[in-house]
């Protein structure tokens, strides 16, 4: 299996000031897993989706060309977030039907919510149902340990459980192919020690 290398973490627009805004907003808005879970709870209770983790509109862009690029990026990200919103709702309903408790459901939704933000952190932007085992691998092996201030052995274990359930749900509802589900589950099992080693130090 050929695994595509992780995308560069630089956002798709070129201006460094935009990049700094996106980075700072992520670090200051979601400093803990608890705040992330609370945010997911609020969003799923509302019919609309707010600007999200990676909106760059909070910073003043000096160059008009960069503003145009940033606006295009924000528009694309917002469209993907609206699309993902229905997937998160469906996943949450599936977990509830399976008998999981509300705290557990919120944890799984929070984990997938952050993964969704990773998928639009850099080009190519992806929806949740466009993710592959390569995306899961590089999220757990590289991006999450570097970017999440709460990354730990426990949180990585929780993410592995969330990914397994989420892709099983997407497979059962024909949102991804059985091959994608099998590849993700295989990666979670075979690369588990790699993922844990990144946060064990």
What's the number of CA atoms in the CB half-sphere (13 Å) around residue 52? 27
Determine the Cα–Cα distance for residues 117 and 130; give it in Å rounded to an integer: 13
pLDDT for res 7:
46
pLDDT in tens, 123-180: 899 999 999 999 999 999 999 999 999 999 999 999 999 999 999 999 999 999 999 9
Average of per-residue pLDDT across 49-72:
50
What is the residue-averaged pLDDT of the chain? 79
Percent of the chain with pLDDT over 90: 60
Interhelix angle 64-97/33-45, rounded to 10 degrees, is: 80
- Residue 69 pLDDT > 90: no
pTM for the full predicted model: 0.72
Strongest mean pLDDT among 7-11, 119-123, 189-193: 189-193
Judge whether 181 and 170 are in contact, CB under 8 Å.
Answer: yes
Q: In this structure, what DSSP letter does residue 4 have?
A: P
Average of per-residue pLDDT across 66-83:
84
pLDDT in tens, 38-53: 666 565 555 443 434 3
- Residue 10 pLDDT > 80: no
Determine the Cα–Cα distance for residues 21 and 201; give it in Å rounded to an integer: 29
pLDDT for res 122:
85
Q: Which residue has the tokens 């946060």?
A: 199
Q: Where are the domains of the chain?
A: 16-200
Average of per-residue pLDDT across 178-186:
98
Segment among 23-32, 69-78, 79-88, 162-171 with least mean pLDDT: 23-32
């Amino acid at each position: 299996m050929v695994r595509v290398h992780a995308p560069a973490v630089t956002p798709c627009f070129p201006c460094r000031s935009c990049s700094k805004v996106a980075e700072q907003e992520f670090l200051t808005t979601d400093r803990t897993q608890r705040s992330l879970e609370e945010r997911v709870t609020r969003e799923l209770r509302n019919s609309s989706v707010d600007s999200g983790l990676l909106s760059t509109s909070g910073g003043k862009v000096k160059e008009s060309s960069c503003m145009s690029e940033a606006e295009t990026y924000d528009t694309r990200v917002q469209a993907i977030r609206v699309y993902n919103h229905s997937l998160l709702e469906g996943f949450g309903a599936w977990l509830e039907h399976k008998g999981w408790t509300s705290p557990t459901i919120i944890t799984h939704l929070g984990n997938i919510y952050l993964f969704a933000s990773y998928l639009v952190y850099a080009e190519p932007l992806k929806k949740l149902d466009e993710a592959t085992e390569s995306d899961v691998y590089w999220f757990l092996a590289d991006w999450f340990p570097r970017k999440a201030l709460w990354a730990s052995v426990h949180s990585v274990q929780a993410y592995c459980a969330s990914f397994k359930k989420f892709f099983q749900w997407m497979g059962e509802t024909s949102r991804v192919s059985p091959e994608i589900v099998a590849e993700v589950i295989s990666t979670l099992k075979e690369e588990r020690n790699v993922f844990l080693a990144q946060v064990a130090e």
